[in-house]
Amino acid sequence: MTIATDKLSDPTVRALVAAINANDRAAFLALLTSDATMSDDGTDRDLAEWIDREIFSVHGHIEVQTESAGGQALVADYRNDTWGEMRTAWRFTVDGGRVSRFETGQA
């Protein structure tokens, strides 16, 4: 059962998921700290390059199935034009209302 984006517990994560689903790169970036980092399947990646390749140039969309850790850990069905749909896990580190790190990978 999908959790509606507006029902996600953590307000920063909620806004980040909404930005992904709206294909709003500017809103997404505004929610990150200036030194934010990320990893995909356990490997650190260049954040700007990765979000363009995996989210914004390929119409990424996230449908949250479960949340834990106060809404900072998600299991979701993620789809984009490159890879289709897959079950993914996301974990966010939120500092002062902004995401300083996120980790994603297949769940």
Tell me the average pLDDT of the chain. 97
Q: What is the CATH number for 43?
A: 3.10.450.50
Q: Which residues contact 91 (CB under 8 A, 6 or more apart)?
A: 69, 72, 73, 74, 102, 103, 104
Q: What is the mean pLDDT of residues 39-44?
A: 97
Residue 23, pLDDT above cutoff 90: yes
Residue 58 has what pLDDT? 98
* Model pLDDT for residues 71-98, shown as the tens digit of each residue: 999 999 999 999 999 999 999 999 999 9
Range of the domain at 88: 5-106
Residue 103 has what pLDDT? 98
Domain count, the chain: 1
Beta strands in 1-107 (DSSP E): 32-40, 43-45, 61-68, 73-80, 84-95, 98-106
Q: 60 — phi, psi (to 5°)? A: -60, 145
Please say whether the dihedral angle defined by the alpha carbons of residues 65, 45, 69 and 18, taken in this order, is positive or negative. negative
pTM: 0.96
